[in-house]
Amino acid sequence: MRIFYSEEESFEREFAELLGRGKMDIESVEGSVRAILDEIRHDGDDALLRQIGRFDRWEPADSSELRVDIEDMKRAYDSLDSDLKSALHLAYERIEEYHRKLMPKSWIEFDENGSMLGQKVSAVERAGLYIPGGKAAYPSSLLMNAIPALVAGVEDIVVCTPTPDAHINELLLAACHLCGIEKVFRVGGASAIGAMAYGTQSIPKVDVVTGPGNIFVATAKKMVYGDVNIDMIAGPSEIGILADESARADWVAIDLLSQAEHDEMASSILITDSAKLAEMVSQEVERELSTLDREEIARKSIEDRGAIIVTSDMQEAVSLMNEIAPEHLEVMTVAPMQLLSSIKHAGAIFLGRYTPEPIGDYIAGPNHTLPTGGTARFYSPLSVEHFLKKSSLIMMSEEGLGKIGEECALIAATEGLTAHEKSVRERLKSK
């Protein structure tokens, strides 16, 4: 694994290359994605059937085959190993508990004049969840997307997932049953995003689309934004680790690989003030690679997008990590809480040596759908907020309007909006 030293003359250029790690060449697929979306908008289910044959290598007889039978989901759940079933229930409970704490409340406040201001918080009517199913299927992503929607109060949830060669992941179906989801469709890629955004004869139009995917999914989400809301445009997975000499090199190495095994495009970056640790971690990464089932994927990720950076001190290490703004950030130092106030940008922060990133992927409770590619500077993790909308509440009493109406009319007149001004002044005259 490559080691860079911040004091070297070439470091600024090399670090700039690292910052471009998550950039997706969306422009290269925009034409193809636009054609897919246009086809769905015009032809609905007929377009979906053609696209499934083209991209997923199977041909449904008709649109009725797109929807997964509810009984199939129940059978998948019932056939789960008891230990795995218990693990999924524990994950559900912890994710639900965490997201309930994030739930904002409606509020109403009256003043001394009898006027009222407030906010009404309500769920969107229908949410569309995209759950990947290509190189790997992730039932945990179903839990992380569905549970916040359920906590928010969404009554109608639609799930789309690709089924290459007509194969669907049984554990994903079991997770759908656990969440009480009944509308699951065998549709993937940009086709699924278009179907949920515009609606077809089989798949209803939704209000918000969430969930990760490849470059085609990300591009489609970008294109349909405005017709529906979306959570974020996520790229390849990534991890950043801040570590000092107290960190165990073998633990750091396997945590770097926990992201590298996701995808060849994933990035794993360690920043440390210990040159000794850097060398040890590099050796451990090489040793651990040969033990992985997905060694080929992880090796390409580490070779192309992995890095170890050695800095003069931890202050510089934190500063560089803030520039990276990683999706996942582990802090493996003697006193990790002391660095927390200095960390400005990260999707999720894992503090301490006993908090590996995978604990957040599955069972800790916070959401694992996180901003990537440096977008943690302005995006937040998926939460109940993505499934909610808010309405401002305003009610003026006669006395309350009298207190502020003149100032309102003055501002309206200054802007040259005569009807606005008159709307207020007519009411002031009636007093």
Interhelix angle 170-178/70-78, nearest 10 degrees: 100
Catalytic residue among 99, 262, 328, 386: 328
Burial string for 73-110 (b: 16+ CB within 10 Å, else e) reads: beebbeebeeeeeeebeebbebbbebbeeeeeeeeeee
Q: What is the rounded distance in angstroms from the CA atom of residue 315 to the CA atom of residue 320?
A: 9
Measured in degrees and rounded to the nearest 5, phi and psi for residue 350 equal -110, 110
Q: Can you tell me which residue has the tokens 């003149």?
A: 406
Catalytic residue among 39, 264, 327, 330: 327
Q: What is the rounded distance in angstroms from the CA atom of residue 405 to the CA atom of residue 158?
A: 46
**Alpha-carbon dihedral sign for residues 372, 378, 384, 388:** negative
Does the annotation mark 279 as catalytic? no
Q: What is the rounded distance in angstroms from the CA atom of residue 359 to the CA atom of residue 361?
A: 5
Give the containing element (helix H, strand E) for 242: strand 238-243
Residues 6+ apart with CB under 8 A from 10: none
Does the annotation mark 386 as catalytic? no
By annotation, the residues acting in catalysis are: 327-328
